[in-house]
Amino acid sequence: MKLAVLGAGAWGTALAIAFSARHAVTLWARRAEVRGVLRDDRENRRFLPGHRFPDALLIGDDFERAAADADLLLVATPVSGLRATVARLRDAGVVKPLLWACKGLEAETAKLPHQIVAEELGAQALCGALSGPSFAEEVARGLPAAVALAANDAEFGHRTARALHSPHFRIYANDDLPGVEVGGGVKNIMAIATGVCDGLGLGLNARAALITRGLAEIARFGVALGGHPQTFMGLAGMGDLILTCTGDLSRNRRVGLALGVGKTLAQILDDLGHVAEGVSTTREVARLSAQMGIDMPITRAVDAILYRDEPAALAVETLLSRDPKIEAS
């Protein structure tokens, strides 16, 4: 299969390397100078240093040609770049099956990725999300990982999952597109919260409680947006949540750790040098959940830290002072 990966950050690069073992892959970067460096170095030294490109991996210069020549498109931009990318495909007249690997809700609109794609390409477009517990660094190294692929058409999703599946990068088809997207997006908020907890030195017991209650919060929100409850017990829910909240390769966890020791958000993002999707997603989930009447106390606490300058210790104290409830609620 011919695959075009549109977006050459860490995750797009890792996926291009992984899929090159069995497919003809072209990796495209938005900026011409970046494409030139990738072609010359045969390595993404900025976002994924130390991982040489397979000989078969091509660096595409022309967006329209790379997309037109592919059997399957994989958009690996941040959520903020998804709409512009699919709009460019539409304007070029390129109608191809499409996956995205971004996680989160669009700033200002609070739209999930499948809603963005439907607005730009139409509801008939074959498309889906690739999401699950997977750090780019480990995928590029060929270490075992398992993710979910959820699509708006079950047959397309199952067929594509089988085509992309490999022994070390296992892909499980899932028929719950909104649930998979919510699990992948909102877990980043919980990773920031868990990082704050660890940055404040509150201990492993507190971390476990926060992850568990965070999963309940994700599921409440996801079901309200049309997801299936069982999705949040799987790879795109619990699996991704555990990895992102506990693994120090997580950008969102690192944001929380830095907030917990008193750094400002501007300083943190400058030091990080990468996009941490949970930062923008927090604002949108907090706003949308409030409009829908969904109780999301952890999300509100993270939103207060990020956008209302509430000290991390005070936000945690507010969480701890909440009245206890029946656990299932």
Annotated binding site for NADPH: 11, 30-31, 103, 136, 251, 275, 277
Residue 223 CA to residue 290 CA, distance in Å, equals 15
* Sequence-distant (≥ 6) Cβ neighbours of residue 117 within 8 angstroms: 82, 86, 98, 100, 125, 127
Residues making up the annotated binding site are 7-12, 30-31, 103, 132, 134, 136, 187, 240, 250-252, 275, 277
CA angle 24, 25, 31 (to 5 degrees): 155
Tokens 């007249």 sit on residue:
93
Catalytic (active site) residue 263 = no
164 by DSSP, 3-state: which? helix
310: exposed, middle or buried (Cβ count in 10 Å: 0-12, 13-18, 19+): middle
Residues making up the annotated binding site for sn-glycerol 3-phosphate are 103, 132, 134, 187, 240, 250-252
Residue 228 CA to residue 169 CA, distance in Å, equals 25
User: Closest Cα to residue 85, out of 75, 94, 95?
Assistant: 75
Tokens 């999705």 sit on residue:
231
Contact in structure between 284 and 107 (CB atoms under 8 Å): yes
Pairing status of strand 145-151 against strand 127-131: antiparallel
Residues making up the annotated binding site for substrate are 103, 251-252
CA distances from 85 to 90, 95, 127, 207 (A): 9, 13, 14, 37
* Sequence-distant (≥ 6) Cβ neighbours of residue 306 within 8 angstroms: 192, 259, 265, 279, 282, 283
For residues 289, 291, 295, 296, the Cα torsion angle rounded to the nearest 10 degrees is 30
**Residue 55 in tokens:** 């000989």
Catalytic: which of 2, 96, 111, 187? 187
* Sequence-distant (≥ 6) Cβ neighbours of residue 16 within 8 angstroms: 5, 8, 25, 27, 53, 57
Residues with active-site annotation: 187
